[in-house]
Amino acid sequence: TSERPKVDDDLTIFREQWQRELETALPDQKQRSDTSLWKDASNREDKGSNKENELANALVVLSLTAEDGEIDVRTSVKEGFGNQINLCRDRGLNLGPPSQKSDTLPLERQAKYLFLKGVENEQNGTLYEAIQFYRRAVQLVPDIEFRLYDASKPKPRDRQDTESTEDGLETAAEQDVKAYSDDDDNDDEGEDLLSRLQRFFSRSCSLCVPQYEQTMTHISSLPMEIVLYILRWVVSADLDIRSLELCSRVSRGFYLCSRDSEIWRLACLRVWGANCGGLTNYESWRQMFIDRPRLHFNGCYICKTTYIRHGENSFQDQFYRPWHLVEYYRYLRFFPEGVVLMLTTPDDPITSLAHLRQRTPRNPAVLTGHYRLHEDRVIMVLKKHGTQGKMSGNNRYRARHNRATSSDLEEQNYHLELQINSYRNRLHTQLAWQGYSIFMKLRNGAESTSKFELPMNRYPPFWFSRVKSYTAESENPLQ
């Protein structure tokens, strides 16, 4: 019994000592536990990040190997990345975290792969998955979209492959030029450009080369005969020679094709017909077409007339005498087959030129006729349609003799003679008045001809203006 209190005392002392040790050791243990928990969490995060890095690097490797045709990565997202990662490990590829020196490049490749997967999902209609890929790609590289856009632009060919000229000419021509000796170069100084290019083209036999690399078939693969036929469609039956000259600026090959003598011979025959003649006074058909007086067909000749006339006195103030400024336009549109259209109207060119687009106009105010070229003169005969049928509201209230005269008129023709002139460096752009008369025939058989004087202020010359809509389409080739 005496030992029992002693044991109780020892237990009490032990509890008190243990309690004190716990109180002193509690802050240290709490700190250690916090640090251990933090280490565990960080270890787990490191493991997760290592897995993510491993997966991302696997995607990079897959994207790189996919470019070589080894692995198909288009189905790896939906089917899982496990098989692809194991495949990379079997091949001995490094799936660990990238080194510090190459951190930037893998990130860009990862972002590129993710962005392209987003594009693929968007095209397939899975917009939610596409947004997820886009977001992950932008998180890696914020400007990945602009980088991909810049990388997708076609790169011009190297200067070693293409001549550094404005025309983008073929390599074979450059090699041919280098092949010539210095003596040949000295002899070619007096040679014209066309002959020199023909000699170059006979060696290279290449129409042109593409400026940018492409997988589609280039126009340079077409035979020369097909290209010449295409140029006939460019010129068309309306003789759009300006478009042909623009085609000659493409390359040496197109320059030679646009100088084809057959095209220019057909153009001359189209303009002058049987009166074309031969090349007695000209070196080529092209020179004849340029220097010989002719008409332009890709636009309209416009004449603006302005004059002042007296007005009627006011019944309230006899001393008030008004003056009126009268302004109107004359339009002439020529066609290669000899058809001419004429319109006299106060409307400005913006609203009037559309009435002269077709050979058979719908506007009854447009006069139709034919013309002939005689040296530097244009002789035209235009006919006004009969005034039979219903008259307009204004004509109903005119004087009786005016109504009778208009109803008795059976035929009315306009005879015009104009001279083709050039102004400075603009060839054949002016038509000056040389003669103007009107022939009228009534129903009773009476005929009358009125010839007008041509003062400069009342009959100013016509000036040519190009109209783009007239040559926007080609209906028939040059024949």
Residue 158: half-sphere exposure toward Cβ, Cα within 13 Å? 2
* Closest by Cα among 451, 361, 379, 371 to 416: 379
pLDDT number for residue 383: 92
DSSP for residue 276 = -
CA–CA separation, 458 vs 268, rounded Å? 34
Token duo for residue 197: 């290019």
Q: What is the pLDDT of residue 406?
A: 53
Whole-structure pTM over 0.95, yes or no? no
Cα–Cα distance for residue pair 125/105, rounded to 1 Å = 30
Q: How far apart are the C-alpha atoms of 256 and 170, rounded to whole Å?
A: 13
pLDDT attached to residue 217: 85
Sketch the domain layout of the chain as residue ranges: 3-152, 299-471
Counting every residue written for the chain, the total comes to: 479
pLDDT in tens, 312-366: 776 666 777 788 899 999 999 999 999 999 999 999 999 999 999 999 998 999 9
Q: Are 286 and 244 in contact (CB under 8 A)?
A: no
Contact criterion met (CB below 8 Å) for 343 and 354: no
Cα–Cα distance, 24 to 29 (Å, whole number): 10
- And the tokens for 365? 């105010």
Q: Would strands 377-384 and 447-451 be described as parallel, antiparallel, or unpaired?
A: unpaired
What was the pLDDT predicted at 59? 46
Question: What pLDDT shows up at residue 82?
Answer: 40
| Residue segments in the chain with a per-residue pLDDT below the cut of 50 | 34, 37-38, 41-42, 44-45, 47-49, 51-103, 158-187, 387-395, 397-399, 401, 404
According to DSSP, the β-strands at 462-466 and 447-451 are unpaired
Per-residue model confidence (pLDDT) at position 173 = 38
So what's the pLDDT on residue 274?
Answer: 83
Spatial distance between the Cα atoms of 181 and 191, rounded to a whole number of angstroms: 16
